[in-house]
Amino acid sequence: MRRPARLIGVLTGVTLMAACTPARGPADGLSDPPPRPGAPTADHTPAATCSPEGIAITGLGVSAAMGLRAMGLELLNCGDRPYELRGYPAVTLRDADGDPIEVRIIPGAKPITSGFDHPPTRIVLAPGERAGAALIWRNLVTDPTVVATDGRELDVAPVAGRRAYPVALDGPIDLGNTGRLGVSAWERRKPDPAGTPTPAAPPPPTTPPVNPL
């Protein structure tokens, strides 16, 4: 089945826990929740502001189709020196009270859908260049006894082990009760012919999940 052109653009123009593996990561399927906002290990300045390490991470909005959701992420090298990436964005979700939500993070999202499984590659962004990645999930309720999860706040680190930054959401990350969130690897974002990357959220592919449970 042909994937939508916008999804291909995000994935080819476009890293969660492959570059630096923490004690809890893809090996056991759980993300490491960083401390609450204001803790010294997290930077909670607005994501659009260039960080001390010379990057800015922003969300590109959510696309939805038949319960499948996809959200684009973009990392801009807003500093004055090259910035290296290899791996997946390291993400943490928080509820409406700001408390971390335990989520199974899936690099590549194969149990959720296809099309997000390209391997990480080394990227060196020159000042002004951008990389892109995508989050994908299903708003699926498979067990009425389990409360559905809504992520109201999102923190993103370039890769596991680096500083995380808040990324504004235009709506909740509604995981249902699946507790799963897929993430694609970072890829260099190619500029459009006018020289400006196109900030578009990837529409989710329409292929069915490999394992909907």
Residue 212 lies in a domain: no
Per-residue confidence in pLDDT tens, the chain, 213 aa: 433 334 334 333 333 323 333 333 333 334 444 443 333 334 443 445 899 999 999 999 888 777 788 999 999 999 999 999 999 999 999 998 899 988 899 998 887 887 777 889 999 999 999 999 999 998 888 777 777 888 899 999 999 999 999 999 988 888 888 888 999 999 998 875 554 444 444 444 444 444 443
Q: Would you say 20 and 87 are in contact if contact means Cβ atoms under 8 Å apart?
A: yes
Residue 23 lies in a domain: yes
Residue 198 lies in a domain: no
Residue 197 lies in a domain: no
Q: What is the distance between the alpha carbons of residues 186 and 210, in angstroms, rounded to a whole number?
A: 23
Residue with tokens 């990480």: 120
Beta strands in the chain (DSSP E): 55-65, 68-77, 83-85, 90-94, 100-101, 104-107, 123-125, 130-138, 149-151, 153-157, 165-167, 173-176, 180-183, 187-189
Residue 195 lies in a domain: no
Residue 29 lies in a domain: yes
Residue 128 lies in a domain: yes
Domain ranges, residue 150: 5-189
Domain count, the chain: 1
Residue 70 lies in a domain: yes
pTM tops 0.75: no
